[in-house]
Amino acid sequence: MKTDVVALILAGGRGTRLNLIAAKRAKPAVPFAGMYRIIDFTLTNAMVSEIRHVGVLTQYRPTSLMDHLGDGDAWDLSGVRASLQVLPPSLGRAHSDWYRGTADAVFQNIGFLRNLEPRDVVILSGDHIYSMDFRPMIARHRESGADLTIAAMEVPWEEVSRFGVMKIDGDENVTEFIEKSPERISNIANMGIYVFRREALLEELHRNCPDGKFDFGAHVIPGMLGRRKILAHRFSGYWRDVGTLGSYWSANMDALDPSTGLDLGAWRARTNLDGRGQVFHPAAHFGAGSNVRNSLVSRGCVIEGEVVGSVLSPGVRVGRGARVVDSVVMHDALIDRGAAVERAILDKDVTVGAGARVGRADARGGFNEHFPTHLSDGITVVGKGTSIPAGAVIGANVLIGTEVGALRVNELRDVPDGGTVA
């Protein structure tokens, strides 16, 4: 079956810098902005761009992601003329049953591309928050005769080392490319959005992957320089890689203010509401004593207390006299009466007991003693299914593991700044 364009979404990442909120789920499956998952934005972009066939390359803990994707109907990717196919690593290979890099992930699924025979292949990351119609990029790619077109945007110079960056000439041709290096050759960053001419992609994969060169940024793209036409396509809208706890928290806060560029109303992102019975949730209920300001409150929430500058997923309950400030609270969490949650991320099914305090709204700076590169700037994180006992005091930059409950209740009574209960 021939088709014009196929999209492949790289969604197998482990998300180690997201620590425990990605410990039991693939990073693209992490909840975001209330009712969404991170991957929803990439899938919506593909839908808006009228890409009718999408392959999602999964690997690390894919179950919740696969459940969320379903048959693709939520993004109009099911039926006779459309498809969403989950593509796990090939089993029984001689060297490894895991994808060994971004290029290897596509290399293992060459059969998917050959079956559809697209003119061009759009390769996307499943863990970025942005809104983009890929059609102008694809059209420019074809008009220029490029073998590869890379979406690019300017980033602050102090953040250059976090990205692959490129130099371009006056015609937007890429002349130099370097992957995540302290060498600051440019501040034009690779967004991880590629349009390949299919034949060029297959040739480059066969050229690199059998020799152990498994990554687009580190191997394939630098190896194409001087041999292939590589074009940069500028993007100037909101785009964020939510690969760290700090960037994840900040992006959720951005969702509260459309002036940041993250405008959920304008983006009209799609999601699958079948999971956890969200489709059956009633409208949020606000009690007589409740006070909600500058917050995103999802369906099924019951608010009796105060919620300020926070993002609440479906089914969250905030008891009478409780406060939630500058926080991200995932599905079906309970903040009991008189409790306070400030500058924190709570995973699904967390219970904060009556009168307990988690985090501090005024906390800035500092870091977690065990995970200093993962958790800093005053944010506290509580893992899925954990119960914080009544009256407990949990400081800033604290990490509380998943399903920590009654048997370890004494460890949760008083956790100082930077502490960890794993």
What pLDDT, in 10s, does the model give residues 121-150?
999 999 999 999 999 999 999 999 999 999
What is the average pLDDT score of the chain?
A: 93
Average pLDDT over residues 334-338: 98
* Residue 409 DSSP symbol: G
| Same domain flag for 248 and 338 | no
For residue 269, being part of any structural domain is answered with no
pTM, entire model: 0.94
Q: What are phi and psi of 421, to 5 degrees?
A: -125, 100
* Residue 343 DSSP symbol: S
| Two structure tokens written together for 374 | 């993962």
- CB-based contact 52:82 (threshold 8 Å): yes
- pLDDT tier, 77 (very low <50, low <70, confident <90, very high otherwise): very high
Average pLDDT over residues 252-279: 91
- pLDDT tier, 403 (very low <50, low <70, confident <90, very high otherwise): confident
| Same domain flag for 243 and 168 | yes
CATH number for the domain spanning 31: value is: 3.90.550.10
CA distances from 386 to 2, 346, 380 (A): 50, 9, 14
What is the helix (H) or strand (E) element at residue 177, kind and residue range? strand 174-178
CATH number for the domain spanning 308: value is: 2.160.10.10
| Same domain flag for 239 and 327 | no
Distance CA 291, CA 376 (A): 29
| Same domain flag for 191 and 134 | yes
For residue 247, being part of any structural domain is answered with yes
Strand, coil or helix: 349:
coil
Q: pLDDT at position 406, please?
A: 65
| Same domain flag for 291 and 193 | no
Strand, coil or helix: 126:
coil
Q: What percent of the chain has pLDDT over 90?
A: 81
For residue 271, being part of any structural domain is answered with no
Distance CA 255, CA 263 (A): 7
What is the helix (H) or strand (E) element at residue 170, kind and residue range? none
For residue 179, being part of any structural domain is answered with yes
pLDDT value at 92 more than 50: no
**Containing domain of residue 321, as a range?**
284-421
Q: pLDDT at position 281, please?
A: 86
pLDDT value at 255 more than 60: yes
pLDDT value at 159 more than 60: yes
| Same domain flag for 226 and 314 | no
Q: pLDDT at position 407, please?
A: 62
Q: Per this entry, what is the length of the chain?
A: 422
| Same domain flag for 365 and 402 | yes
| Same domain flag for 83 and 204 | yes
pLDDT value at 352 more than 90: yes
| Same domain flag for 81 and 229 | yes
Q: pLDDT at position 225, please?
A: 96
| Same domain flag for 23 and 158 | yes
For residue 270, being part of any structural domain is answered with no
| Same domain flag for 194 and 327 | no
| Same domain flag for 154 and 30 | yes
Q: What are phi and psi of 226, to 5 degrees?
A: 85, -15
Cβ count near 45 (within 10 Å): 24
Q: pLDDT at position 7, please?
A: 98
Burial code (b: 16+ CB inside 10 Å, e: under 16) for 21-35 equals: bbbbbbbbbbbbbbb
pLDDT digits (tens, 9 = 90+) for 374-397: 999 999 999 999 999 999 999 999
Average pLDDT over residues 398-409: 83
pLDDT digits (tens, 9 = 90+) for 190-240: 999 999 999 999 999 999 999 999 999 999 999 999 999 999 999 999 999
Q: pLDDT at position 2, please?
A: 65
For residue 266, being part of any structural domain is answered with no
Strand, coil or helix: 373:
coil
**Secondary structure string (H, E, C) spanning 319-341:** CCCCEEECCEECCCCEECCCCEE
Distance CA 355, CA 366 (A): 25
pLDDT value at 311 more than 90: yes
For residue 353, being part of any structural domain is answered with yes
pLDDT value at 408 more than 90: no
Which residues does residue 306 pair with via DSSP β-bridges, in sequence order?
291, 323
Number of domains the chain contains: 2
Cβ count near 136 (within 10 Å): 11
| Two structure tokens written together for 232 | 């940069």
Distance CA 123, CA 196 (A): 8
For residue 267, being part of any structural domain is answered with no
**Amino acid letter for position 211:** D
Burial code (b: 16+ CB inside 10 Å, e: under 16) for 208-237 equals: bbeeebbbbbbbbbbebeeebbbbbbebee
- CB-based contact 286:303 (threshold 8 Å): yes
